[in-house]
Structure 1
Amino acid sequence: MISIAVAVLAVAGCGGGDGSNADSGTLSIAITDAAVDGASRVVVTFSAVEIKPAGGTAVVYDLSPAKSIDLLALSGGATAMLLDAKVLPAGQYQWVRLVVESQQNVPTSYIELASGAQHPLFVPSGEESGLKLNRGFTIAAGGRTDFTIDFDLRKSVIAPRGQAPNYLLKPVLRIVDNLRVGTVSGVVPANLIPTVCTPFIYVFSGANVIPDDLDPAASPDVDPLVSVRVELDSASGAFKFKIPFLEVGTYTLAFTCDGAMDTPDGEETLSFSPTVNVTVNANQTTTLNF
C-alpha cells in the first residue's frame, strides 16, 4: 500500500522589465511526496512535459537527460523540479501531461519494497498519452498562478496477478490551486495506537462524512481524498501527522489502525475512530488533535 502526494505546478505571470514580455508568463513544475507504507523507493523517470493551450497545439518540453526522481526521498512538502520558469504566452490552457518512461520488465521506473525486492513500475499509458492532468488553468500577464498536482500512489500502485515482476501504476491525480491551499497537522494520542497498529488519517471532502476504505469506484463523497500515515516522533514521543496541499474548505478526518489491510482494488471493512471536522484556510496550518 503506497501513498504519495506529488508535484507542485507553479505558473508565474510576467510583467514588464528585465526583458520580460507583458503577454507571457513562466511555468515551473516540481514534485513532492508524503510518507509511504511498504516501500523504500518509488522511482519515476520523466522524459517530457507537455502543456496544451486552448485553441493551439501542445508545447513539449523534452527533459534531456530524462529525470529519475525517487518520490520517497521527498517529504513534508519538499520538492524536486521538473521544469523551472519556462516562458509561456498568457492565456487559457487545457491540460498538462507528464510523459513517463516505463516498459514492462525494464526497471526504468520502479518500486523497491522494504524487503529490498525491486520491481519495474509499468504505466500502461505512460509512453503513449502520459500522465494527463485535465484541469484547465489561466496564465495571467503580470499575475501568478500556482498549482499542486496530487499523485496518490496509495490508490494507484497495483501488483496485478499474472504480470510479475511488474507493478502497474494507474495514476489517480488531482490539481489544487496553491494560493488556496492549507495544511492540517496534529497528534494522535498513544492510547489510540495499540502495539499492533498501522496508523493512518483518512481525509474526506465535506463535513460529517461517514468514513470508508479506498475504493476508486465509490462516489467521491465516500472515497477518501487522501490518506497519510501517522508517524512516531522520536524526539517528543508523540504520534504526529501532517496533511499538506488541502484546498480551502471543510473536511472530515478519521483515524484508523487498519491502514495495512486497505487495498485500492478491494473492498475492506476498516475500523475508524469518531470523525472530526476541520476547516482549512489558505496559507495556514490548522492544528487538529484527536
Structure 2
Amino acid sequence: MKKLNDKLYAALLAGGGLLLLNGCGDDSNSSPAAKPEPGKISLFATDAPVDDVDAVKVTFSRIDLKPRDGDVIQIDLDAPVTIENLLELTGSTSQEIMGDVTVPSGEYNWIRLYVEGGFPDSTVTPEIGNETDLFIPGQQNGNSNGNPKSLKLTSGFTVAAGGESDFTIDFVLRKGLVKPANADYYLLRPALRLVDNQQVGAITGNVDGTVVNHPACAIYSGFGAVYLYEGDLVTAEQTPDDVYDPGIAAGSDEVDDSTTGPRPITTAEVKQREDGSYGYDIGFVSAGNYSVSYSCEAPNDAPESDDDIAFTETIAVNVVADATTNADFSEEPSEISGGAEADAGTGG
C-alpha cells in the first residue's frame, strides 16, 4: 500500500494546525517540543450476511481520512483492492483493505471508502439470476460528474502515536444492500460499523435443532439468524426489533438510524456445522454489554419496512476483549408472524 512521504506528512502537520507546546519559562529559554510522532493505520473488512444473494464483490480504489484538527488525507491505493465475496468474511474472518499506512497521530472524525462501481469491479450474484452491477448511490445514473463515489463512515477513531492502529469495518449488508424496485442493479449504502481490533471480542453459540427444525420455522428458507443489540434487553424488559431504515423507502442515499426501539447492530447467519449441529459466530464486537436474539423469520426482514418478525429467545452477554463469549439458544418458537407466504419475502 502507498505510504505518505515525509514531505506530505510535514504539509499535513502544517495545514492541520497541530500545535507544538513550548516549555515553561521566558521566550529566550523556551524551545519547541518535538514534532508529534506519527502512527500507522490498517483497515480490514468483514461482513454481516444478507439473504437471497450468493456473492457480493466490491473493489476499493482510495481511502480518505479526516483528522479532527486537520485537512483530509487522501490515500490512493497502489492498486485497487477487490474483495471477491463479502459474504465469505463472516464471524471473525476479515480481509485487509489498507495496511500499515503512516499518518499523523491523533483523533479522526471519519473515513471514506471509494468504490469502483459496476461490472466487473463491483457486482452482486443473486441466488436466482445472473451477476449484476453493484453501485454506490449515484453511480447507477452515470451522473458522478467525474467525481468517484464513496461510503462515509462517521465513527470517530484514534491513531496512536508511534504505534499501529488496526480497525475492522463491518459491512452490515442486511441493511446496506438494496435492490431498487424494477431495477437491474443493486445499491450499497453506508451501513457500516467501525471497531478497534485491539478492543474486540467475539460471540459464538449453538442453536438447538429443535428450534431450527420447529414446524413454525419450516416455511422459512435457511436456519434463521442471530441479531446483536447494544445493552441488556432482558433486564430492561425490552423487546428486540428488526432491521429497519426508513431512508430506503424515502429514496435517501444515507442510512437513517433515527428509528425507535432496539434495532440490531449487526446480524449473523445460523449455519449447519460439519457435525450436523447448528451455530453462529459474531466477530469484531467491541467490549461491553450486549444482547443476542434468535429468529427463524430473518428472510422476512426487509430493511425498507418495519417488519413484525418474532424472536424466540433473547440472551444478555458481556463481551470481553480478546475473548469469546458463548450464548446458546434452546427456546422453541411459540408462534410465527409471516404466515404461509413467508418464503416469498425478499430478505433484508
- TM-score interval for Structure 1 and Structure 2 normalised by the shorter chain: 0.7 to 0.9
Residue deviations 1:123-160, cap 9 Å, x none?
11575451112222222223443322222011011111
CA distance in 2, matches of 1:43, 1:37: 15
Counterpart amino acid of residue 328 in structure 2: N
Residue 201 of structure 1 corresponds to 226
How many percent identity over aligned positions?
Answer: 35
* CA distance in 1: counterparts of 2:172 and 2:186, whole angstroms: 15
Question: How large is the RMSD of aligned CA atoms in angstroms?
Answer: 2.2
Q: Which amino acid counterpart does residue 152 of structure 2 have in structure 1?
A: K
Matched residue, 1:102: 117
Instruction: Tell me, yes or no, if structure 1 residue 228 matches structure 2 residue 251.
Output: no
Alpha-carbon distance in structure 1 between the residues aligned to 2:307 and 2:192? 22
Residue of structure 2 equivalent to 1:145: 165
TM-score normalised according to structure 1 size: 0.84
Could you tell me which residue of structure 2 aligns to residue 181 of structure 1?
Answer: 200
2:313 to 270, 274, 277: 274
Check 1:35–1:219 CA distance in 2 against 1; reply closer, same or farther (3 A cut).
closer
Matches of 1:82 and 1:165, distance apart in 2: 28
Aligned residues: 266
1:179 Cα deviation (Å)? 2.4
Q: Which residue of 1 aligns with 2:133?
A: 120
Measure the CA separation in 1 of the matches of 2:328 and 2:272. 14
User: Structure 1: how far apart are the matches of 2:88 and 2:286?
Assistant: 24
The question of whether the paired residues in 2 share the 8 Å contact of 1:24 and 1:89 is answered with yes
* Matching residue's letter, 2:136: V
Q: Which moved more, 1:53-62 or 1:271-280?
A: 53-62
**Please, which moves more after superposition, 187-196 or 237-246?**
187-196
Amino acid at match of 1:212: D
Correspondent of 1:154 among 171, 174, 181: 174
Partner of 2:77: 63
State the AA in 1 paired with 2:131: Q
Match of 2:59 among 45, 59, 66: 45
Q: Which runs of 5+ in 1 are unaligned?
A: 1-20
1:130 is matched with 150
Query: For the structure 1 residues 75 and 207, does the alpha-carbon distance in structure 2 shift closer, same or farther, using more than 3 Å as the test?
Result: closer
Whether the 8 Å CA contact 2:60–2:116 is kept in 1: the answer is: yes
Pair 1:80-2:95 in alignment: yes
Residue 24 (1) aligns with residue 38 (2):
yes
Give the 3-state SS of the residue equivalent to 1:214 in structure 2. coil
Q: Say if 1:181 and 1:248, in contact at 8 Å, map to a contact too.
A: yes
**In the aligned structure 2, how far is the partner of 1:92 from the partner of 1:250?**
25
| 1:186-234 Cα distance to aligned partner (Å, 9 max, x none) | 0011111124344111111111231111112453651111111110112
| Larger strand proportion of the pair | 1
Between Structure 1 and Structure 2, whose CA radius of gyration is higher? Answer: 2
Letter in 1 for 2:206: V
Q: CA distance change for structure 1 residues 280 and 220 in 2, over 3 Å: closer, same or farther? A: farther
Alignment partner, residue 9 of structure 1? none
Q: Give, in whole Å, the separation in 1 of the partners of 2:127 and 2:104.
A: 45
Q: Which digits, 9 at most, give the CA deviation of each residue in 1:53-73, with x for residues without a partner?
A: 233322222124322212123
Local SS of the residue matching 1:72 = helix
**Structure 2 counterpart SS, 1:215:** coil
| Structure 1 counterpart SS, 2:168 | strand
1:90 corresponds to 2:105? yes
Give the structure-2-normalised TM-score: 0.71
Instruction: Report which stretch shifted further, 26-35 or 44-53.
Output: 26-35
